[in-house]
Structure 1
Amino acid sequence: MKQDQFTHTLQEGLVNAHSLAIEKHHTTLELDHLFLALLNTHQSPFIALLKECGVDSNEIQKVFTNKINSFARLDEPTHDLRPSNRFMSAFTLAEKKAKEFKDEFISTEIFLLATLEDKSDTAKVFKDAGLTVEKLLKAIKVIRGGQTVNSASSEENRQALEKYTTNLTERAQSGKLDPVIGRDDEIRRAIQVLQRRTKNNPVLIGEPGVGKTAI
């Protein structure tokens, strides 16, 4: 199993999974370690994927935490961890799936797809949370936007907008924007500028805190 076959997100997940298994004094590296490691990473592409599938990542995280805590423990931690047979089975299937998708690297969504189709105990955790192969395939289509995984950083690049920007339209629909009071003229003028065929970029000038973003 060569890590240079994986995206950076999956590589990081594997490193953290290995550390988690050692910390827990476990004897083998299991799929549960990997998925819990991915779930423990704040704002990860994997969590965004589950959100797109309509699955509660927090609930799954709790299940995996309890599951891992029930594993048999060694008296002393070992660094000589081997992937379990189930882990290697999922990896082999993930390789095939990546080729089917014409991907150059194995991503977290493909590894999850392979896990679901392998029908393991780990897959049951996701299925009990409402995740199906059909939902996952639909989510993959949405998050990829027709693109393939042609670089190790493909998953991170997808998250750039969410990570570094704020979706004001989404916040407005959720009622999270501050109300705009007494700015009818400014709003009307901005709308007029936006409706122009040319030179249609309104510029709002003012001191910080006067409500430019709200407008």
Structure 2
Amino acid sequence: MTEIRHIVFDIGKVLIHYDPELPYRRLIPDEIERRLFLDTVCTGDWNVEQDRGRTWEEAEALLIADHSSHEANIRGFRQNWHEMVPHHYEGSVAILNGLIDAGHDVTMLTNFASDTFREAQQRFDFLNRPRGVTVSGDIGLIKPDPAIYDHHVASFGLEPSATLFIDDSPKNVEGAKAAGWQAVLFTDAKTLEADLERFGIGRGW
């Protein structure tokens, strides 16, 4: 196994909590109506296109054209985005900071809309600590497209086989492996510590 010299973190559900249902518990109190809205109107497939670079204005207009009665709640997605990311995960952020403090080369690769990522950076200062970040919304590519992994490698001068990727999505982990990276599925900080140790990066970092 190649020695790991680069560590790449995903962000959502690895370093910060993300749940789009949180503000809609207030906006649409009825559980059945709320679920229907998120399953058929502001869906995950719709939201991921903002991660790919589509503007919120265009995204809202597309939905409002077909669901005019839901206009307020459609616009409420971006307006209340801050409620969807209420806190960070102390354990994984401690690992991130520990790795950086110990001198490891740490970057981030995330599916994130450009504007909401900058908002997250302002709220969570640890997102400014790694050497750099590839934001899908900035470059028009999303994981697990092989091109986004290659873009990150080229941008930060990484050696794929010496790179360890940490992501909560199985398909994104598999995408990294297909690009020649090492990769682990994030579930919690304790498991991540064990994974790092397995790759020769012990608790001393």
TM value normalised by structure 2: 0.24
The structure having more radius of gyration, on CA atoms, is 1
Higher RCO (Cα < 8 Å, 6 or more apart): 2
TM value normalised by structure 1: 0.24
